[in-house]
Amino acid sequence: MSVDLNTLKTPGPTITALTAPFWDAAAEGRLTIQRCEDCGKAVFYPRPICPHCWGRRLVWKDASGRGRLKSFSEVHKPGHPGWLPAAPYVVGLVELAEGPTMLSFILPGTQSLHIGAMLLLSPTAIGGRILPAFKPVEP
């Protein structure tokens, strides 16, 4: 992967009024997710009600940006043609320290990737917008 990710013609997010705070924060290099004031659980992706208790008192909180790699794949044949110039690239399932799991783009590290690897938020310009990507924590 030597291409400048920011020049890719990749599909961006389909933002709604509800999800805008997540993407606004992403543009500023932050990862913000909802937290339920009723049951205390963190929620990803954004919703109008908490999927754990159906409470409506959801507030935005910046996440720590720490996560653990639950699984990953090196994509050789992307599902969308906009990603072809970047292949092979890695996507992974990131279990955030706050609890929920999100799918993200995993930046290359110096060592080979393994499940269980510790990750850190690494905002990255992809396709003309800054996305909350992650990178492995180097020992």
Partner 1 sequence: MSRSKGAIAGIGELKPQRLTQGVTTLEMIAEVSRLAVLDAGLEPAAIDGLLVGPQVGETPQHVPATIAEYLGLAPTMANVVDLGGASGAGMVWRAAAAIEAGMCETVLCVLANNREEAAPRSPNRNPIREFDVPFGASGANISYALLMQAHMAEYGSTARDFAMIAAAARANAQLNPDAIFFGKPADVEAVLASPMIASPLHLLEIVMPVAGGEAVVVTSAGRARSLRKPPVHLLGAGEKVTHRAVSQAPSLTSGPLKSAMARAFRQSGTHADEMDLLSLYDCYTIMVATTIKDAGLCAPGQFGAWLNDHDLSHKGDKPLNTHGGQLGFGQPDLAGGMTHVVEAVRQLRGEAGERQIGKAGLALVTGNGATMSEATALVLGAA
Residue 20 phi/psi, 5-degree rounding, is -55, -40
User: Does residue 27 belong to the site contacting partner 1 (CB under 8 A)?
Assistant: no
If one asks whether residue 35 binds partner 1 (CB under 8 A), the answer comes out as no
User: Which H helix or E strand runs over 135?
Assistant: strand 134-136
Residue 3 found at the interface with partner 1 (CB under 8 A):
no
Q: Does 114 bind partner 1 (CB under 8 A)?
A: yes
Q: Is 36 in the site for Zn ion (CB under 5 A)?
A: yes
Cis peptide before 89 (omega within 30 of 0): no
Tell me if 102 contacts partner 1 by CB under 8 A.
Answer: yes
With tokens 């720490």, the residue in question is 66
Query: Is residue 78 close enough to count as binding Zn ion by CB under 5 A?
Result: no
The count of C-alpha atoms lying within 13 angstroms of the C-alpha of 139, restricted to the half-sphere facing its C-beta, is 4
Nearer to Zn ion (CB atom), residue 1 or residue 39? 39
* Window of 33-41, 55-63, 114-122 that interacts with partner 1 by CB under 8 A: 114-122
Question: What, of Zn ion, partner 1, none, does residue 80 touch, CB below 5 to 8 Å by kind?
Answer: partner 1
- Which residues are bridge partners to 118 per DSSP? 68
Amino acid identity of residue 79, one-letter, is G
Helix H or strand E segment including 126: strand 124-126
**Where along the sequence are the contacts to partner 1 (CB under 8 A)?**
10-16, 19, 45, 70-80, 83, 86, 88-89, 91-93, 101-105, 114-116, 126-127, 129, 131, 133
